[in-house]
């Protein structure tokens, strides 16, 4: 079970030994991109189990070979929302757990002149507002992209939104909490701070570069 953080009531921290073991390997600068990507998907799958605990359900009757049984089904379509590009590497872990989920894609870059996030791509299922949306991105640094992504989802009518990250900085958590106090955040770790280059410290470097071998 994840634990609540004393300083951030809206964050659940996944301190499970297996998750922390894999995260420690990912932090190591010697870990190659193929292992980094594999571990990220494994952690995403482990976190997805708990993240999905409170998805809305409905009762149904099914006919077994013996009799009628009362069962449970998900009541509404769930949409996984990776923030491009690094969020793509968490998809397999989630879809392995519930392949029936829909997938939306949001691409955001930061305008160098205004320092504001700009959407360069957004593709969502037409019925995304019918069910929960789970935003995934390995890193929550300044929070700018995350805030913008949640803005887009709320503008599309979504009311049940969660975010899943591997490593979060306090600055990013505070930015999300200020903009969207109702948002639930799931993280494998909350690190110390951001440095002058807006990298999470101690962090694990640029997640996108380490996932795709572009460093």
- Per-residue pLDDT tens digits for 6-61: 778 889 999 999 999 999 999 999 999 999 999 999 999 999 988 988 888 999 99
Q: Which of 31, 119, 177, 209 is catalytic?
A: 209
Active site residue 206: yes
Active site residue 214: no
- Count of structural domains within the chain: 1
Active site residue 209: yes
- Calculate mean pLDDT across residues 167-185: 95
Backbone angles phi, psi at 198, to 5 degrees: 65, 25
Active site residue 127: no
First-to-last C-alpha distance (Å) of the chain: 35
The CA-CA-CA angle for residues 207, 210, 214, to 5°, reads 115
Residue 181 structural domain: 3-212
Is residue 110 pLDDT above 80, yes or no?
no
The mean predicted confidence, pLDDT, of the chain is 92
Instruction: Let me know: does 199 contact 209? Beta carbons within 8 Å.
Output: no
Q: Which helix (H) or strand (E) is 61 found in, with range?
A: strand 57-63
Choose among 27, 11, 13: nearest CA to 207. 27
Q: Which of 27, 31, 130, 206 is catalytic?
A: 206
> What does the chain come to in residues?
215
Q: Which of 85, 110, 130, 184 is catalytic?
A: 110
The CATH number assigned to the domain holding 108 equals 3.40.50.2020
């Amino acid at each position: 079970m994840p634990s609540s953080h004393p300083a951030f009531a809206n964050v659940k921290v996944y301190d499970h030994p297996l998750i922390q073991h894999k995260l420690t390997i990912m932090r190591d600068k010697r870990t190659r991109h193929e292992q980094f990507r594999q571990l990220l998907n494994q952690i995403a799958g482990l976190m997805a189990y708990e993240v999905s605990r409170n998805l809305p359900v409905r009762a149904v009757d099914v006919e077994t070979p013996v009799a009628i049984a009362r069962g449970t089904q998900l009541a509404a379509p769930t949409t996984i929302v990776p923030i491009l590009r690094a969020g793509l590497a968490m998809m397999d872990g989630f879809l392995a757990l519930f392949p029936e989920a829909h997938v939306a894609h949001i691409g955001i870059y930061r305008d160098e002149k205004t320092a504001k996030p700009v959407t360069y791509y957004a593709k969502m299922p037409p019925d995304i507002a019918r069910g929960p949306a789970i935003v995934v991105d390995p890193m929550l640094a300044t929070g700018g992209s995350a805030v913008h992504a949640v803005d887009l989802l709320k503008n599309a009518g979504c009311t049940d939104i969660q975010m899943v990250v591997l490593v979060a900085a306090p600055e990013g958590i505070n930015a999300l909490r200020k903009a969207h106090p109702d948002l639930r955040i799931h993280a494998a770790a909350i690190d110390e701070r951001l440095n002058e280059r807006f990298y999470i410290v101690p962090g694990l470097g640029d997640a996108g570069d380490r996932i795709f071998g572009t460093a």
